[in-house]
Chains A and B, each alone.
Chain A
């Protein structure tokens, strides 16, 4: 594995990396577990895509990793080949014919290459899929292989720790319940100031609400005012909504680790909490992968559709504007704004227009990036890359494409309806000296919100 960067030559002994040591000494039982899990995870869609790839390599120019580094391993075609060749080997046939077709057995060497390439060189953004001549679902193939690695405990430990925190503590930042409740109580005061209404509430555990609102725990920990921003919008719209005491985390890193059991557990908790509180719908805060996971993939993991709508907060806010439930003054946001399209929300999730309808009403001037919408470039933070610090250098280098896009707009504010994207964009802001502010859509709307005098 070439992924983990060598420590700087300081003279000090290199810190031990048990994960790397484990990869270097993979035992046959672990490899067998990867193989068995891989075969169990593969569905019709994977098998069809594996045999449809013509290895034309034209996807290469669409991948931000490949655009900044010509290493063939960065090409989506290479990533697909790594998975498809393994499948072709496992489905049988004459040994000679398998070799002729390039089929590769799942052995220790392939497992190590899967880790390096499929975890370390892919943010599962799906831009290759949008531009593939066939339309192969590359993120799905990558997720299947990652899932096989997860079954053998070979997910990079930083990403696995994020999944484990969510499973064990109920949210990926391991925020204790009493701390969360205290944060909400404290934020209620902030909300009352923000909306200039002493009766304003930040409801928690309210039964029979219109919707349960779930957030990225990063907000509670580091950016609590983004919760206030959303609450101010809901308050002005006169919505009956609620937060939950226990399961309030919209994120689902099981999507990225490939661990469908963990992913299903996290998704089920949100659905069960919605049901427990008798909320009429589940509204997902600004989180790209949280939307894709909870809106589209959770029913696949759980084997059933939820009995209520699952929506993005962007759809809700756009609806408030359309229905005249909130009033915005775009003059309050005079700086030039540009919009980042999170891959899991837009390209995979189908939420393309609501955020544009919102910005059209909330800011004085805004400009699209080129390209945008379904053809947007990934910021580089998806696919669990923000967690996997061992691959951080690659992530920041691949983010150059997004940084160049932002710089070309001349915007002072980048709006990103995804907290993970905001983390990566903030790092790109420093790395590439962009000099921009990065905000959520709700923060921008709250800035433009007109309150009664």
Chain B
């Protein structure tokens, strides 16, 4: 294992530990939820939140902006692919030659989608009003990482650059907006659980009482 690979692994460990600490800090605040009042179960709501609730039809934010929804989905699909490519790279498992070009294309398209979202943030007065330097930097860092991941998938000489970008992104992850990679999942689960417990998904509401 090269020094760069060790550094990349170390930075990923830092990211995981940092994100875990952030989640633990949130958990230490406790919850105000009280048992014994629900009319439904949380899990069907959570399943809805990560399933049908993600579809454009389920929310106006997606149905009114299909292009943005598609860009967001593509962006995050590419990030997942780059994560998988990173794992294979660190494990010294070469990408199958039949898969590599497709994966590279996905990650490149993902980088372009990320850049388009960055451009939107810079162009919109509302988004500028609610954005901090972190919002731009996080997006840009991930876009560069994706582009290098795409390059490394088809050009082994680019692997050191990909690992270098990985170190920067992973070190930054718990410090900035990239932390939403974990908090999105938790918030979405909270949302679904609330729907499930209140009987809006997965349980007949009428006539059901605790």
Q: Looking across the interface, which residue of chain A has its beta carbon closest to that of B62?
A: A133
Structural contact, B180 and A129, CB atoms closer than 8 A? no
Contact flag A299-B175 (CB < 8 Å), given A52-B187, A354-B206: no
Interface size on B, residues (CB 8 A): 59
| Residue A176 is within 8 A (CB to CB) of chain B in the complex | no
Interface residues of A in 37-54 (CB under 8 A from B): 42-49, 51-54
One of A187-195, A221-229, A311-319, A435-443 at the interface = A311-319
Structural contact, A43 and B32, CB atoms closer than 8 A? yes
Q: Which residues of A contact B31 (CB under 8 A)?
A: 43-45
Q: Looking across the interface, which residue of chain B has its beta carbon closest to that of A301?
A: B32
Q: Which residues of B contact A56 (CB under 8 A)?
A: 61, 68, 72, 127
Structural contact, A300 and B130, CB atoms closer than 8 A? no
Q: Which of B35, B61, B198 contacts A133 (CB 8 A)?
A: B61
Contact flag A305-B190 (CB < 8 Å), given A55-B127, A57-B127, A100-B132: no
Contact flag A129-B191 (CB < 8 Å), given A42-B29, A135-B49: yes
| Residue A360 is within 8 A (CB to CB) of chain B in the complex | no
Structural contact, A102 and B132, CB atoms closer than 8 A? yes
For the A-B complex, the count of residue pairs with Cβ-Cβ distances under 8 Å equals 164
Q: Which residues of B contact A296 (CB under 8 A)?
A: 37, 198
Structural contact, B60 and A300, CB atoms closer than 8 A? no
Structural contact, B183 and A350, CB atoms closer than 8 A? no
Minimum CB–CB distance from A264 to chain B (whole Å) comes to 11
Question: A-side interface residues toward B, CB under 8 Å?
Answer: 42-49, 51-62, 72, 75, 77-78, 81, 91, 97, 100-102, 129-137, 281, 295-296, 299-300, 303-306, 309, 311, 315, 318-319, 348-354, 357, 374-375
Structural contact, A135 and B188, CB atoms closer than 8 A? yes
Chain B contact residues: helix, strand, loop or mixed: helix
Q: Which residues of A contact B194 (CB under 8 A)?
A: 137
Structural contact, B207 and A48, CB atoms closer than 8 A? no
Q: Which residues of A contact B36 (CB under 8 A)?
A: 299, 305
Structural contact, A135 and B39, CB atoms closer than 8 A? no
Q: Which of A52, A61, A101, A133 contacts B132 (CB 8 A)?
A: A101
Taken together as a complex, chains A and B put the C-alpha atoms of A212 and B54 apart, in Å, by 41
Question: B-side interface residues toward A, CB under 8 Å?
Answer: 22, 25-27, 29-37, 39, 49, 53, 59-62, 64-65, 68, 72, 121, 124-127, 129-135, 137, 175-177, 179-180, 183-184, 186-188, 190-192, 194, 198-200, 205-207, 209-210
Q: Which of A51, A91, A295 contacts B183 (CB 8 A)?
A: A51
Q: Which residues of A contact B200 (CB under 8 A)?
A: 350, 352, 374
Q: Which residues of B contact A375 (CB under 8 A)?
A: 60
Q: Which residues of B contact A130 (CB under 8 A)?
A: 59
Q: Which of B126, B176, B205 contacts A100 (CB 8 A)?
A: B176
Q: Which of A42, A44, A77, A357 contacts B27 (CB 8 A)?
A: A44
Q: Which of A91, A133, A350 contacts B25 (CB 8 A)?
A: A91
**Between-chain CB contacts (< 8 Å), 10 pairs:** A43-B29, A44-B26, A91-B25, A101-B132, A134-B191, A135-B191, A305-B34, A305-B37, A318-B206, A319-B207
Taken together as a complex, chains A and B put the C-alpha atoms of A44 and B27 apart, in Å, by 5
